[in-house]
Amino acid sequence: MSTVKLTVNGRAVSVDVEDRTLLVHLLRENLNLTGTHVGCDTSQCGACVVHVDGRAVKSCTMLAGQAAGSNVTTIEGLAKGDELHPMQAAFRDNHGLQCGYCTPGMIMSAVDIVHRHGGNLDEETVRHELEGNICRCTGYHNIVKSVLDAAGRMKVAQAAE
């Protein structure tokens, strides 16, 4: 067992976990942040994507211990209170989700994609960048639409700041 100290969604936490514990399990089992999902066991599906120090990471590929000292944001920490993040709003407005299981990972990946590419996003880039997130419901059509829509909203929001 080890004690892992990290910041999750702005809150400092200290958790005792087995050394083999993955970050996703720390989030789900120890912190009850069940919005981060597990959809595979080969780091392919992306349902577990969270932000570690601002970068999208598959939380099933990282030991909890490796996240010590990091600043982790999960889907639960993305909205500002009742105000949805533009990516969350875009997924809802464009019907970018159906069963909702891949959605948290999709949204966390998508936010990272927009951050990395700024305003230079087109459909082809979004499709390529989403390669690490699998959705079985939507055929990606409305997910791509959502990400492009959110990219526009985030640009506007940034310009306004």
Partner 1 sequence: MGVEGIGASVVRKEDRRFITGKGRYVDDIKMLGMTYAHFVRSPHAHAKVKGIDSTEAMKMPGVIAVLTGQQIVDDKVGNLICGWAISSKDGSPMKMGAWPAMAPETVRFVGQAVAVVIAETKNLAKDAAEAVVVTYEELPAVPDIKAAIKPGAAQLHPEAPGNVVYDWHIGDEAAVKDAFSKAANVVTLELTNNRLVPNAMEPRAAIAHYEAAEEHYTLYTTSQNPHVARLVLSAFYNIAPENKLRVIAPDVGGGFGSKIYVYPEEMVALWASKKVDRPVKWTGDRSEAFLTDAHGRDHVSKAEMAFDKDNKILGLRVKTHANFGAYMSLFSSAVPTYLYATLLSGQYIIPAIYAEVMGVYTNTTPVDAYRGAGRPEASYLIERMMETAARQLKVDPAELRRRNFITQFPYQTPVIMAYDVGDFNASIDSAMKAIDYAGFPARKAKAKADGKLRGIGLSCYIEACGIAPSKAVGSLGAGVGLWESAEIRVNPVGTIEVLTGSHSHGQGHETTFCQIIAERLGVPISQVSIVHGDTDKVQFGMGTYGSRSLAVGGTAIVKAMEKVEAKAKKIAAHALEASESDIVIENGEFKVTGTDKSIALPMVALAAYTAHNLPDGMEPGLKETAFYDPTNFTFPAGAYICELEVDPGTGKTTFVNFVAADDFGRLINPMIVEGQVHGGLAQGIGQALLEGAVYDENAQLVTASFMDYTMPRADDLPSFKLSHTTTLCPGNPLGVKGCGEAGAIGASAAVINAITDAIGNNKLEMPATPDRVWHAIHG
Residues of this chain that interact with partner 1 (CB under 8 A) are 18, 20, 28, 32-42, 44-45, 47, 74-76, 78-79, 84, 88, 91-93, 95, 97-104, 107, 123-124, 126-128, 130-131, 133-144
Q: Which is nearer to partner 1, 68 or 93 (CB)?
A: 93
Give the chain's length: 161
Q: How far is the CB of 100 from partner 1 (least distance, A)?
A: 3
Closest separation in Å from C-beta 60 to partner 1: 11
CB 105 within 8 A of CB 87: no
In the complex, the smallest distance separating the C-beta of residue 1 from partner 1, rounded to whole angstroms, is 12
In terms of CB distance, is 70 or 133 closer to partner 1?
133
**Angstrom distances, CA of residue 95 to CA of 73, 116, 158:** 24, 24, 24
Residue 70, Cβ neighbours under 10 Å: how many?
Answer: 19
β partners of residue 72: 8, 52
